[in-house]
Amino acid sequence: MFKKLLITSLLSVLSFANSFELSGTIVSDNEKVITSRYMGYVTNVYVNEGSFVKKGQILYEIDSSTLDSNKQEALLTLQIQKNQLSNVEINYNRYKRLYAQDLVSKYDVEQLELNLKNIQNMIAIAQAKLKEVETQYDYLKIKSPNDGLIIKKTIKVGEMAMPSVPAIILSDLTSLEIKTDIPESNLNAIKLGQEVDIYVASIDLKTKGKIKSIIPNVNSTTHSFILKISFDKKNEKVYPGMYAKINIDSLN
């Protein structure tokens, strides 16, 4: 009996010696920083940290005052050009009749014809400008690029939204992985694609994972590498930021 217990203990020690444990954090492999394209005051915010959103859902809106002014200016310019076109067309048609009666020179008719084409070009430019302004209205409604979870929100109603300044961070829950550090001395004990055991204590999830990438740490003083591990969620509600333990069988 004692011999059997001793053998069992030795096997346990050997098994433990041939594996090691790492601590990691669940992160999203598809995390997006949401910003606005235009500057303006925030009029509405429709989400909070922890909100689940769908692709195309409006996250927040920016005041349209500046665009409203630009649109009115574009409409006014277009109307002025159309009025000028109407006047030039009347004169052009009149001069063509006079030219047919040999009462005006061909040069006068050609000048009016040239003026007519120039105004038509100006109208086309004004219409394109108006269309551009109207398209920009859609950019004042900042929408979610995909389904996900709002993990950070720094924008509030009444604040100024600035281009390139982060307002919301969106995490894709369908693309979760575990991120951990591994000492350089343990690199020869692992390989890409290797299966590992995962345990997420907060939801009592025991599952399997695979090493998907081994990345040098930008901080060379730590002499460690970053591991990214894909894993099976088993239909559990897993969120970024959860703590996970990774047990790896050493290849040595």
- Per-residue model confidence as pLDDT tens digits over 139-184: 999 999 999 999 999 999 999 999 989 999 999 998 899 999 998 8
- Per CATH, the number for 31-63+139-171 is 2.40.50.100
Type of residue at 52: F
pLDDT value at position 62?
95
- Per CATH, the number for 65-138 is 1.10.287
Q: Which residues of the chain have pLDDT under 50?
A: 2-3, 5-16
- Secondary structure percentages of the chain, helix, strand, coil, to 5: 40, 35, 25
pLDDT value at position 184?
87
Instruction: Give the pTM.
Output: 0.69
Q: Where are the domains of the chain?
A: 18-29+174-249, 31-63+139-171, 65-138
pLDDT value at position 16?
45
- Per-residue model confidence as pLDDT tens digits over 111-134: 999 999 999 999 999 999 999 999
The SS3 call for residue 194 is coil
pLDDT value at position 167?
95
Q: Could you tell me the CA-to-CA distances from 221 to 179, 190, 218, 224, 225 in Å, in that order?
A: 19, 21, 9, 8, 11
The SS3 call for residue 197 is strand
CATH architecture for segment(s) 18-29+174-249: Beta Barrel (2.40)
